[in-house]
Amino acid sequence: MSEQENKKVIFSGIQPTGTFTLGNYIGAVSHWGKLQDEYNCIYSIVDMHAITVRQDPVKLRQHTLEAYALIMACGVDPKKSIAFIQSHVRTHAELNWILACSTQFGELSRMTQFKDKSAKHPDDVNAGLFTYPVLMAADILAYKADLVPVGVDQKQHLELARNVAQRFNSKYGELFTVPEPYIPKVGAKVMSLQDPEKKMSKSDENPNACIYILDEPDVIIRKFKRAVTDSDSEVRYAEDKPGISNLMSIYSVVTGKDYASIEREFEGKGYGDFKLAVGEAVSDHLKPVRDEFARLMADKAYLKECYTNGAQAALNISRKTVAKAYRKVGFVDSM
């Protein structure tokens, strides 16, 4: 076996629903480039998942291209990784049906994200919204992924994928790799700047709650200056200081400094100095991403070449898995 074959496989996908937040970046996308030398990485812009809630088709196409450019700007190298757009690879939908027939209704009923999104979109509680964790399982299992980088809120969906893989293997014989979570230890969950008890989200109605990775420097600094902290003025990481602890976590990730170093750096200084420092550090950290994104979006032909090649490579791998799954369940060979 070659060195490439000896490496474990990582799969991860991200929805193209607007610009990535700082939370998406710190919790997921910033790690993708770093994983490429150690693992065989497969990354997807999961546009099929995006339509579980209503989308403007024109905006969805634009956001999908932007999301693809963004993962490259954040460090994904299409020469080192397989990077593609989900809807370009038919095997995801094909495997989805097979896996749906190995998924229990009760399992899907317990998915907290279905409950949350149903509450947010009560006029469009569609079947896709209910079953999309099965499509997520297909995304992962089609490539026999060993590891899946997931945020804390996605662990439930990965557990479902594991259960479905084990159930299928038990019924039809070994085929799918049972994936394990890959969760970064630091900065895995970035909280809202206006409500540090909840996760940073692009759906937050307060524009100051969320940092987007393409925000201009002055916007980033202004949002951090307005961040909610507490009545204390000491820069110290503690459970009873969720606002300042969230800012320290962000500052730690973008500067590489540990909490003790940060506390020493800002000893005797107020929150104003610290918030400004965090804003400037985040802006500086994201500048290369902004610059590379602009360069890529100006070269649509190169982007198309990358996502077309990525889709072909993904299809070459996943169709073998799907063909084996079809045979195992008893379908007649098509060719």
Cα–Cα–Cα angle for 55, 58, 59, rounded to 5 degrees: 60
Comparison of pLDDT for 333 and 323, the residue scoring more: 323
Residues 24, 139 within the same domain: yes
Pairing mode of beta strands 180-182, 82-85: unpaired
Q: What is the CATH number of the domain that holds 281?
A: 1.10.240.10
Verify whether residue 269 is a known catalytic residue. Answer: no
Can you tell me the mean pLDDT for 304-325?
98
Verify whether residue 199 is a known catalytic residue. Answer: yes
pLDDT band at residue 1 under the 50/70/90 scheme: very low
Asked if the structure places residue 29 within a domain, the reply is: yes
Catalytic residue among 80, 189, 199, 257: 199
Can you tell me the mean pLDDT for 22-49?
91
Asked if the structure places residue 42 within a domain, the reply is: yes
Asked if the structure places residue 194 within a domain, the reply is: no
Residue 3 has pLDDT above 60, yes or no: no
Residue 18 has pLDDT above 80, yes or no: no
Asked if the structure places residue 200 within a domain, the reply is: no
Taking phi over 0 as left and psi of -120 to 50 as alpha, with beta for the rest, 21 belongs to beta
Say if residues 70 and 76 touch (Cβ distance below 8 Å): no
Catalytic residue among 117, 144, 223, 275: 117
Residues 216, 310 within the same domain: no
pLDDT band at residue 12 under the 50/70/90 scheme: very high
Residues 10, 128 within the same domain: yes
Residues 284, 313 within the same domain: no
Asked if the structure places residue 197 within a domain, the reply is: no
Q: How many other CB atoms are found less than 10 A from the CB of residue 200?
A: 24
Q: What is the CATH number of the domain that holds 44?
A: 3.40.50.620
Residues 9, 133 within the same domain: yes
Residues 176, 238 within the same domain: no
Structure confidence by residue, pLDDT tens digits, 103-147: 999 999 888 877 777 777 788 888 888 899 999 999 999 999 999
Residues 121, 267 within the same domain: no
Report the pLDDT value the prediction gives residue 28, as an integer from 0 to 100. 81
Residue 305 has pLDDT above 60, yes or no: yes
Asked if the structure places residue 114 within a domain, the reply is: yes
Torsion of CA 18, 214, 88, 91, to 10 degrees: -80
Report the pLDDT value the prediction gives residue 230, as an integer from 0 to 100. 85
Catalytic residue among 8, 80, 202, 324: 202
Residues 261, 317 within the same domain: no
Q: Rounded distance, CA 110 to CA 208, Å?
A: 32
Which domain covers residue 287, as residue numbers? Answer: 207-294
Residues 38, 80 within the same domain: yes
Can you tell me the mean pLDDT for 182-186?
68
Say if residues 273 and 244 touch (Cβ distance below 8 Å): no
Can you tell me the mean pLDDT for 202-221?
92
Asked if the structure places residue 130 within a domain, the reply is: yes
Asked if the structure places residue 202 within a domain, the reply is: no
Residues 181, 212 within the same domain: no
Residues 149, 59 within the same domain: yes
pTM above 0.85, yes or no: yes
Verify whether residue 117 is a known catalytic residue. Answer: yes
Residue 307 has pLDDT above 90, yes or no: yes
Task: Give how many domains the chain has, as a whole number.
Answer: 2
Comparison of pLDDT for 157 and 224, the residue scoring more: 224
Residues 86, 48 within the same domain: yes
Across the chain, mean pLDDT equals 91
